[in-house]
Amino acid sequence: MIGEDGDVLYVGKARNLKNRVSNYAAGRGHSNRIALMISLTRSMEFVVTQTETEALLLEANLIKRLKPRFNILLRDDKSFPYILIRRDHAAAQLLKHRGARKTKGDYFGPFASVGAVNHTLNTLQKAFLLRTCSDSVYEGRTRPCMLYQIKRCAGPCVDLISPAAYAELVGEATDFLRGRSNALREDLQTRMQTASDDLDFETAARLRDRIRAIAAVTTDQGINPAGVEEADVIAVAQDGGRSCVQVFFFRAGQNWGNQSFFPKHDQEAEPADVLAAFLAQFYDDKPAPGQILLSHDIEEAELLSEALSLRAERKVQLLTPQRGEKRKLVEQSLTNAREALARRLSESATQAQLLNGVQRIFGLEDPPQRIEVYDNSHIQGTNALGAMIVAGPEGFEKNHYRRFNMKGDDAATDDDFAMMAAMLRRRLSRLLKEREEGAPVPDLLLIDGGKGQLSAVLEVAEDLGLTDLNIAAIAKGPERDAGREAFYLPGQPPFKLPQKDPVLYYLQRLRDEAHRFAIGGHRAKRKKAISDNPLDEISGIGPARKKALLAHFGSAKAVRNAALADLEAVDGVSKAMAKRIHDWFQR
C-alpha cells in the first residue's frame, strides 16, 4: 500500500487478495490505525507467489528493506558474531565472523556478544591449538610465532605438526562446538593417563592443560539446561504501549547469551502479533535453530515453521511450552524482557527530560529528535578523518554514524578549522539532496571546537544556502577539564553551564562519543597505512610471489627501485610478471 509521495505505507500478505482488499475497502470495523492507513493509501502493488510460504518470506524481506510506517518493525536488528572454522585452506583457521556466511567452513553461533566469542576463542586456542592468523601471515612464516611459544597454536605454518595430526585437532574442535564435549574429555583423559603410564609426562601435561581449557569453556557459559541441545528462547513483554522481545541462544547444550530488542509498532498491537512479526524478520538473514520456544501462541505458527524450515533446509519447530524445563527457560526469558523494558521506559523518560533541557539551552523550537555531533582526528594532518554521530529520543543511533575520509588538500592540512569546514561541506551538500527526498533533517548540529570551528561551519552553511540550521559548538575547558566547557552560538557570547547540570553531562557524553568514534577510525586508518604493502595492489602477486620478492630484495621499497633485469632474476617471477611489476612502480 503506497502513499501520495510514493512511500510504502504497509506490506502484507493474503491467501485471497480479493477478500483482503475488499475488507479494507469496506471502510467499517477498522481500528484507528488501519483507518488512517487506508485514508493515506493512493495506490497498491501486488506480487503473486507460488506458495503462501514464499509470500511470508517475501513479506519479511520487504518489511526489513522498506520499513513501512504501518508495519511492526524490527528496527534494531543487527548481525550477530559467530565462531568460524575456515576450511578453504590446507590448515583450517579458527576465527570470529560477522555478516554473510560466504566463506567455506563450519559456523557456530550465534553468540549474543562479541565478548562471549572472544572469551570462547581464547579458551579454544588453549584447548585445540588451531591457528588464528591470516593466510598472508601464515604463508610468510619461517619460524613459529609467539602463539606457538605460549602453547596456543600447534605451528602448522612451519610444519611443527603433521597435516593429519592438525586435521585431528580440527575435528576435535568441531565436535566440541557441536556439543560432544563429554566424549572428547573422556578421550583426552584416557590419552593423558596412557602418556603418564608411559612416563611421557610432557605429553600428559599438554593433554591436562587442554582438558582444563575445555572444562573452563563449558562451565563459563552460564545456565546449561540438560534437555535443550539447540534452541532459541523468545519472549515478549509489553508495557506503556511498547514491547521488548528477549532472545536467549542455546547451542550445543550451552547458553550462548541473550539480547533485547525493541520493535517499533502501534500501541494497539497484541504481544502475539509483535512476536509473529519479529520472528519473520529476525530469521530473514540468519538460520533458525531446530527449536524455537515462544512465550505466546502465534496464529500462523505452522506456516512460519514451514517457511523457516525451507530456509534452514531442515525441520524447525515452533513450540509454546506449558510446563517442565522448557517452560522455565521461557519464564526466565520473559522476566528478562520485563526488566529490560522497564529500564528502557525509565531511560526514555530521562532522555526526554535531557532533550527538553537541550531545547531550552540552545533556544530550539521543539525538543530535538535528531542531534548530529562532529569531530575530526589526525596527527599533523596525516591519516585525517572526520566523524559524525547521531543521537535522539532512543539514545545513540549507531546505524546513522558516518566517517569522512579526508582526501587531497583536505587530508594534507593540520588546520582544524579547514578540516571541519571540509567535512561539513560534504555532509551539508548531501543534506540538501536528502531534504528533497524527505530524509530526516538534524534539529541541532553540535561541533566539537570553539569559535573558529563554528565560524568555519557557519560559512559553509551560508554558502550552501542552509541558513535555517541550528548550529552550536562545544569547546573544552581550560586544561581540558570536564565540566568547564564553553558553548558557542552564532551571534552570542560564549556561555557555560553549571557543573552539576544533567544536560551538561549529556552534552559531554555526546562530545565524547563523537571523539571516540573519530579516534577509532583514525587509529584503524593509521594501522592500515602502516601495514599496507604496495605489492598487494599489483594484480597477479599472491602470497608466494610476494614472499619470493621480499626475500630477494629485502623490502617493498627495494622492489620498487629494482631494475627490470633484477626482477626477472627472482625465482617464480616470469619476464611478463617482472615487466608488470616494473611498469606498475614506474607509473
DSSP-assigned letters across all residues of 133-182: S-HHHHHH-SS--HHHHTTS---GGGTSS-HHHHHHHHHHHHHHHTT-HH
Q: Which of 159, 165, 187, 163 lies closest to 175, judged by CA?
A: 187
Closest CA to 383 of 534, 512, 519: 519
Higher pLDDT, 219 or 105: 105
Residue 389, sorted as left (phi over 0), alpha (psi -120 to 50) or beta, turns out to be beta
- Paired with 8 in beta bridges are 2
Confidence of residue 446 (pLDDT cuts 50, 70, 90): very high
Report the alpha-carbon distance of residue 56 to residue 13 in Å, rounded: 7
Q: How many CB atoms lie within 10 A of CB 169?
A: 19
Report strand pairing: 382-392 vs 395-396.
antiparallel
Q: What is the DSSP letter of 478?
A: G
The share of the chain scoring above pLDDT 90, in percent, equals 38
> What percentage of residues in the chain have a pLDDT greater than 70?
90
Q: Edge-to-edge, what's the strand order for the sheet holding 105-108?
A: 93-97, 82-86, 105-108
Distance CA 569, CA 566 (A): 5
Please give the pLDDT value at position 95.
92
Q: Lowest-confidence range among 12-26, 206-220, 320-334, 560-574?
A: 206-220
pLDDT classification of 282: cutoffs 50, 70, 90? very high
Which among 235, 244, 240, 246 has a CA at the least distance from the CA of 267? 240
Q: Are 385 and 521 spatial neighbours (Cβ–Cβ below 8 Å)?
A: yes
Residues 444 and 450: their CA atoms lie apart, in Å, by: 16
Residues 6+ apart with CB under 8 A from 427: 372, 374, 388, 402, 404
Cell of 131: 591457528
Mean pLDDT on 15-26: 86
- What are 334-344's pLDDT values in tens digits? 999 999 999 88
462 CB-near residues (< 8 Å, 6+ apart): none
| Pair 518, 385: CB distance under 8 Å | yes
> Rounded to whole angstroms, how far apart are CA atoms 383 and 379?
7
Distance CA 397, CA 513 (A): 11
Instruction: Give CA separation, 283 vs 36, 60, 316, 388, in Å.
Output: 30, 9, 12, 31
Which class is domain 371-529? Answer: alpha beta
Instruction: Specify which residues 303 forms β-bridges with.
Output: none
* pLDDT at residue 233, as a whole number: 95
Q: Could you give the CA distance from residue 189 to residue 198 in angstroms, rounded to a whole number? A: 14
| Average pLDDT along the chain | 85
* 534-586 CATH, one of 1.10.540.10, 1.25.40.10, 1.10.150.20, 3.40.640.10: 1.10.150.20
List all residues 6 or more positions away from 107 whose beta carbon is below 8 Å from its beta carbon.
82, 83, 84, 97, 101
At residue 378, the pLDDT reads 63
Query: Which tens digit of pLDDT belongs to each residue from 502-542?
Result: 999 999 999 999 999 888 876 776 666 555 667 777 877 88
SS3 383: strand
Give the residue-averaged pLDDT of 377-395: 78
Answer yes or no: are the C-beta atoms of 130 and 170 closer than 8 Å.
yes
Q: What is the pLDDT of residue 217?
A: 54
Three cell numbers, residue 484: 568547564
Position with higher pLDDT, 143 vs 254: 143
pLDDT digits (tens, 9 = 90+) for 110-169: 888 888 788 888 878 888 889 999 888 898 888 999 999 988 899 999 999 999 999 999
Question: Are 393 and 352 a contacting pair, CB within 8 Å?
Answer: yes
What are the boundaries of each domain within the chain? 82-219, 371-529, 534-586
What nine digits make up the cell of 521? Answer: 577510525
Average pLDDT over residues 375-392: 77
**DSSP state for residue 387 in the 8-state scheme:** E
What average pLDDT does range 189-197 have in this prediction?
85
Which of the four pLDDT bands, split at 50, 70 and 90, describes residue 221? Answer: very low
Are 236 and 278 in contact by the 8 Å Cβ rule? The answer is yes
Q: d(Cα 535, Cα 32) in Å, to the nearest integer? A: 64
- What pLDDT digit, counting tens, does each position of 31-71 carry? 888 888 999 999 999 999 988 888 998 999 899 888 898 99
